[in-house]
A and B are shown apart, each in its own frame.
Chain A
């Protein structure tokens, strides 16, 4: 009964305001906050067909479809979500939500701090994956969703799905944890720290209060994004896409000569135009801090003991930022708890970026799993 895969079409973002304070992991409290979200498909009568999609570092609530009269406005996971797609909006009510601290409309460092009447800047608290999940749970309450059919995400989004299974076990029937890890390795934290250093040493950063100065630390953001991009692609993919190709021969200069240089500069520039430096700092910090096993003395199985949902864990063979071995740690902890878990290791050449692409086996696994998933 599946239709030909199609787009969800034109979508409109919505805003939800929460006036009850939110206690954060840091000890700080957000007196009130707003979350941007989008929904696709129809919530069924018993409200049992909702799927929450959690975003990764640079994405937003705009998961699928397009905005009216806006060119190139396709949602970041449009290949996954829509009528007849692996996450079938003919069956499921799908919610995309923008996390706290982000720069796409949810309350974040660029929002106005009611106390000062000025943008929060570096005064915006450091938020964690757990804080995001708590805020998402408030949105679920608002939408009348007691229990999600599934919470899913890739990379940092997968960490949120994992966190949901621990924090709200009774509110989630399935967790799809894709290209994720139980925590970041030292190498991963190191990459994040270089990115943060690039931003914080930019003279236009002004200790995070650059809004007051009418500038943006775009140079730092560009470098941060360039570093990130290197880690999202596999060595083999980079060799295949760019190799040692030159744009215009060797000119014995420091202008971009190799295609890879020009690609990274382009990615950096594009990113710095729309992304907020304070958000980048906070989201990388949330990545670094995520470590559910920390509370249980490093014992991930113990940390996952409260989880009762079914799990689908997926990794990609050439992902070296969140390698299959890290996903297997999650699987082992779930097996130790005798949880219902399936694990697929997808052969894909693209590195970490593979979770955003449409490798047939990957999409078939998600489609088949969700088609059978009990709520």
Chain B
């Protein structure tokens, strides 16, 4: 992840109420939290496993906790954050269902963003018989950290299956919002979700 402001930052910032408590999972160098602190007075923590990310986060003045997300969010109480964010990290995680349910346990809301595998450029590359490489998934198949790529339609289906209520969904391509055929024309999906109140658990 780069230290420059990523395309999903401003969408995420728009969803964070002033002075919210946020938890940013896989916070990298802490630039999203630093941005949220500046733009909406948010407080909270980043979680990062990588040494360089932890060091860079501290350098950015962000409170960071070095921890492996794959083991869940055991150190955090239920509903102790306004928002739990997983920005462009979902696709690299092993246990998707666990982390999404942990996010909704710890946060009143969660924000998840991921590269949309359904983008037409990915589809055409697969049609031509090759694994896709693009600005949103810039890795070769043999060196990618991404093990759980999905499409907008896939994530919608997961939410229905898990009783997750989608409060808002924004699909972008090169920072522009895509409203028509988002699963075909969008390369980055951002969801604001919460546990469906009608469905227990």
The interface-forming segment of A193-201, A233-241, A365-373 is A365-373
Q: Does the CB pair B45–A335 fall under 8 Å?
A: yes
Of the candidate stretches B52-60, B97-105, B117-125, B184-192, the one touching chain A is B52-60
Which listed residue (A335, A336, A365) contacts B58, Cβ 8 A? Answer: A365
Binds B, one of A125-133, A248-256, A340-348: A340-348
A342 cross-chain contacts in B, Cβ below 8 A: 54, 57-58, 62-65
**Which residues from B are CB-within-8-Å of A371?**
59
Question: Which A residues are in CB contact (< 8 Å) with B58?
Answer: 312, 342, 344, 365, 368-369, 372
Q: With A and B bound together, what is the CA distance between A149 and B40 in angstroms?
A: 28
Question: Distance in Å from the Cβ of B51 to the closest Cβ of chain A?
Answer: 5
Check B63–A340 contact: CB distance below 8 A: yes
B61 at the interface (CB under 8 A from A): yes
CB-based contact A345/B66 at 8 Å: yes
A329 to chain B, nearest CB (A): 9
Q: Given contacts A335-B76, A336-B77, are A343 and B65 in contact (CB under 8 A)?
A: yes
Given A342-B65, A344-B66, decide whether A368 and B45 contact each other with a Cβ distance below 8 A.
Answer: no
Chain B: CB-nearest residue to A324: B66
Chain B residues lying within 8 Å of A332, measured Cβ to Cβ, are 75
Q: Does A42 contact B (CB under 8 A)?
A: no
Find the A residue at minimum CB distance from B75: A332
B108 / chain A contacts, CB cutoff of 8 Å = none
| A143 within 8 Å of B (CB atoms) | no
- Chain A residues, CB < 8 A from B75: 328, 331-332, 335
Closest to B59 in A: A368
**Inter-subunit contact B55/A347 (CB<8 Å):** no
Which B residues are CB-close (under 8 A) to A340?
63
Contact of A372 among B21, B54, B59, B77 (CB under 8 A): B59
Which residues of A sit under 8 angstroms from B80, Cβ to Cβ? 336
Chain A contacts of B62 at CB under 8 A? 342
Complex contact B61–A344 (CB within 8 A):
no
Query: Contact check: which of A328, A341, A361, A369 meets B51 at CB < 8 Å?
Result: A361
Contact string against A for B residues 65-101, beta-carbon threshold 8 Å, 1 for contact and 0 otherwise:
1110000000111001000000000000000000000
Given the known interface contacts A335-B45, A335-B75, A336-B77, the answer about A361 and B55 at a Cβ–Cβ threshold of 8 Å is yes
Q: Kindly supply a per-residue 1/0 record for chain A positions 306-342, scoring 1 wherever the CB is within 8 Å of any chain B CB and 0 otherwise.
A: 0000001000000000000000100110011010111
Contacts A331-B75, A343-B66: A364 and B55 contacting too (C-beta < 8 A)?
yes
Q: How far is the CA of A332 from the CA of B77 in the complex (A)?
A: 9
**Residue contact A338 to B21, C-beta cutoff 8 Å:** yes
Contact of B63 among A336, A341, A347, A364 (CB under 8 A): A341
Mark out the residues of chain A between 345 and 366 whose CB falls within 8 Å of any chain B CB in the assembled complex. 345, 347, 361, 364-365
Known: A331-B75, A335-B76, A336-B77. A341 touches B55 (CB 8 A): no
A371 and B59 CA atoms in complex are apart in Å by 8
Q: Given that A336-B77, A338-B21 are contacting pairs, would A331 and B55 also be in contact in the complex, using a CB cutoff of 8 Å?
A: no
Chain A residues, Cβ within 8 Å of B54: 342, 344, 365
In the bound complex, residues from chain A placing their C-beta under 8 Å from that of B21 are 338
Query: In whole angstroms, how far apart are the Cα atoms of A345 and B57 in the complex?
Result: 14
B16-64 residues with Cβ-Cβ distance < 8 A to A are: 21, 43, 45, 51, 54-55, 57-59, 61-64
Q: Which residues does chain A contribute within 8 Å of B67, judged by CB atoms? A: 343, 345
Cα A343 to Cα B66 with chains together (Å):
6
Q: Whole-angstrom distance from the CB of A158 to the nearest CB of chain B?
A: 17
Across-interface contacts of A361 in B (CB, < 8 A): 51, 55
**Residue from the set A332, A344, A369, A371 with the largest chain B CB neighbour count within 10 Å:** A344
Write out the residue numbers on chain A whose beta carbons fall within 8 Å of the beta carbon of B59.
368, 371-372
Chain B neighbourhood of A335, CB < 8 A: 45, 65, 75-76
Q: In whole angstroms, how far apart are the Cα atoms of A371 and B55 in the complex?
A: 12
B residues in contact with A341, CB < 8 Å: 45, 63, 65
A365 near B77 with CB under 8 A, answer no
Contact residues in A for B43 (Cβ distance below 8 Å): 338
Contacts of A365 in B (CB 8 A): 54-55, 58
Residues of B within 8 A of A344 (CB): 54-55, 58, 66
Chain B residue at smallest Cβ distance from A315: B66
Residue of A nearest to B64 (CB): A342
A324 CB → nearest B CB, Å: 9
B17: shortest Cβ distance to chain A, in Å? 17
Q: Chain A nearest CB: distance from B99 CB in Å? A: 18
In whole angstroms, how far apart are the Cα atoms of A344 and B58 in the complex?
10
B residues within 8 A CB of A338?
21, 43
With A335-B75, A342-B62, A344-B66 given, can you name 4 additional A-B contacts, CB distance below 8 Å? A340-B63, A343-B65, A343-B66, A347-B51
**Could you give 29 example pairs across A and B, Cβ below 8 Å?**
A328-B75, A331-B65, A332-B75, A335-B65, A335-B76, A338-B21, A340-B63, A341-B45, A341-B65, A342-B54, A342-B65, A343-B64, A343-B66, A344-B54, A344-B55, A344-B58, A344-B66, A345-B66, A345-B67, A347-B51, A361-B51, A364-B55, A365-B55, A368-B55, A368-B58, A369-B58, A371-B59, A372-B58, A372-B59
